[in-house]
Amino acid sequence: QQDAAAAEEAYLAAFKAKPFNLEFQIGVARAQISLKKIDEAIVNLEAVRKHFPDHVVTNQYRALAALHSKDYETAKRFADSILKNLPEYIPAHLIAGAANYGLGNFEQANVFLSRYLATAPGDTHARALLGVTQLQLHRPKDALETFQPLSKDRPDDSVALNLIATAAVQSGDLTT
């Protein structure tokens, strides 16, 4: 939090020297998202979008801001627009997965989160979301397989252990 606040302050000081700078605008928005100043981040990102409506990183952070606001439809729209032009852009797969999960589109969430996790297997939050998605799809064996690395990565995490236990019970595999 302190790093994000310091970053926001530095970027705002840079704005005074040069009122519009793409890198600064995105940087301050990123810091504001970290600080949960979502409305302020959206204002900054929309200012960039006026000049560069298809800028990938701007749209990525705009989608992320929408996710933080639980505006899953907007997050999905921005992620979809990125993926339309750059289908292999991995961060957009994570955002699309989370947005589709929030909208209850579990099949789509499963597809996007699986693609993301194939390139970022160490992302424990994405792994947990994929496993929960698979539970929503009544695929407990898939969820159990997805959750298994969490037992090594987060052995003292009660939430991770509960997810593993839930998947094991639902799959009938009580040996896990």
pLDDT per residue over 140-157, tens digit each? Answer: 999 999 988 888 877 787
Please state, as a whole number, how many other Cβ atoms lie within 10 Å of the Cβ of residue 58. Answer: 23
pLDDT per residue over 14-36, tens digit each? Answer: 666 666 678 888 988 999 999 99
Residue whose C-alpha is closest to residue 66's, from 89, 99, 35:
99
Residue whose C-alpha is closest to residue 70's, from 36, 44, 47:
36
Residues with Cβ within 8 Å of 87's Cβ and at least 6 positions away in sequence, in order, are none
Task: Write down the pLDDT at residue 129.
Answer: 96
Give residue for tokens 């790093």: 3
* Global confidence as pTM: 0.83
Phi and psi, residue 109, nearest 5°:
-60, -40
Please state, as a whole number, how many other Cβ atoms lie within 10 Å of the Cβ of residue 173. Answer: 12
Q: At what angle do helices 124-136 and 106-119 cross, to 10 degrees?
A: 150
pLDDT per residue over 54-85, tens digit each? Answer: 999 999 999 999 999 999 999 999 999 999 99
Please state, as a whole number, how many other Cβ atoms lie within 10 Å of the Cβ of residue 113. Answer: 28
